[in-house]
Amino acid sequence: MSIKHSKRYTAASQLVDRTKTYAVEEAVELMKSFPSPKFDPTVTISFHLTVDPRKSDQMVRGSVALPHGTGKNVRVIVFAQGEAAQAALDAGAEKVGLEDLIKEIQGGFLDFDSAIATPDAMVQVRKIARVLGPRGLMPNPKTGTVTDDTAKAVHEVKAGRVDYKVDKSANISAAVGKLSFEGEKLVENIRAMIGSVVKARPAGAKGAYISGATVACSMSPGIQLAAAEYSKI
């Protein structure tokens, strides 16, 4: 059964040449030429990798501070007590706590975009690993979300740091800004994400690492990036 798309999506699709791939600058320019919706679309980049996420030496995860942020109000919770908890609150965290916060999450609270924890809090946070892990919300030292400097971590996440992790199908997808951003800023954000994923290549990856990358904005067709964009770094 064919999927029925909106008139706006169909019109945008007619602008994308499926027989070619695009440089980042061309892709951004093309997205900005799409028929305008009544909202500010989020721009995302998606990668398909050649790794096997089931193998520990081929897991890909990391974080990147986008130079111009994501344009999104990032909701942050922090698992901490004492001075670290107060520092997180002062830095703008939406919720801070430990046992009480864990109980809230066990009760179904998931209205947040990022979770940070102090190292000593992780013993208890692991109780909800099965809830946070599959959603990409589990604090992890590799992404800077397990730290004693909770204020710095909150500031970085809210300023536009993006955490990413390969899924079971070997894909990574992340928001890199809003379509209303100046073209140059979107280009810089996209290139920062590409650079980070390339550098996160695991030791166990063999041959070509990224088999494809696509940029898209909300409710619009994807635009395939040229291999040179992620193989020349």
Q: pLDDT per residue over 114-130, tens digit each?
A: 999 999 999 999 999 99
Residues 102 and 131 in one domain: yes
Q: Is the pLDDT of residue 206 over 70?
A: yes
The CATH number assigned to the domain holding 134 equals 3.40.50.790
For residue 210, the number of C-alpha atoms closer than 13 Å in the C-beta half-sphere is: 27
Boundary residue ending a domain (159, 181, 209):
159
The CATH number assigned to the domain holding 188 equals 3.30.190.20
- Beta-bridged to residue 63, according to DSSP, are 163
Q: Is the pLDDT of residue 19 over 90?
A: yes
Tens-digit pLDDT profile for residues 36-63: 888 999 999 999 999 999 998 999 988 8
pLDDT at 1: 44
For residue 135, the number of C-alpha atoms closer than 13 Å in the C-beta half-sphere is: 16
Assigned domain for 113 exists: yes
Boundary residue ending a domain (132, 159, 186):
159
Q: What is the DSSP letter of 23?
A: -
Question: What is the tally of structural domains in the chain?
Answer: 2
Tens-digit pLDDT profile for residues 64-114: 989 999 998 889 999 999 999 999 999 999 999 999 999 999 999 999 999
Identify the band that residue 3 occupies on the pLDDT scale cut at 50, 70 and 90.
low
Boundary residue ending a domain (100, 127, 159):
159
pLDDT at 73: 87
Residues 140 and 191 in one domain: no
Residues 81 and 151 in one domain: yes
- List Cβ neighbours of 153 (8 Å cut-off, separation of 6 or more): 78, 116, 144, 145, 147
Q: Are 181 and 197 in contact (CB under 8 A)?
A: no
Assigned domain for 28 exists: yes
Q: Give 142 or 29, the one with higher predicted confidence.
A: 29
Residues 170 and 202 in one domain: yes
Residues 95 and 203 in one domain: no
Q: Is the pLDDT of residue 232 over 80?
A: no
- List Cβ neighbours of 176 (8 Å cut-off, separation of 6 or more): 43, 44, 45, 66, 70, 162, 186, 189, 190, 192, 193, 215
Burial class (CB in 10 A: 0-12, 13-18, 19+), 3: exposed
The residue-averaged pLDDT of 130-139 equals: 92
Assigned domain for 2 exists: no
Residues 38 and 113 in one domain: no
The residue-averaged pLDDT of 165-181 equals: 94
Assigned domain for 135 exists: yes
- pTM to 2 decimals? 0.76
Q: Average model confidence (pLDDT) for the chain?
A: 93
Assigned domain for 1 exists: no
187 vs 163: CA distance, rounded Å: 19
Identify the band that residue 181 occupies on the pLDDT scale cut at 50, 70 and 90.
very high
Domain residues for the domain of 44 are 7-68+162-231
Tens-digit pLDDT profile for residues 185-202: 999 999 999 999 999 999
pLDDT at 68: 93
- List Cβ neighbours of 200 (8 Å cut-off, separation of 6 or more): 60, 61, 62
Helix (H) or strand (E) holding 71: none
Q: Amino acid identity of 57?
A: D
Residues 55 and 82 in one domain: no
Residues 132 and 104 in one domain: yes
Residues 87 and 138 in one domain: yes
Residues 153 and 178 in one domain: no
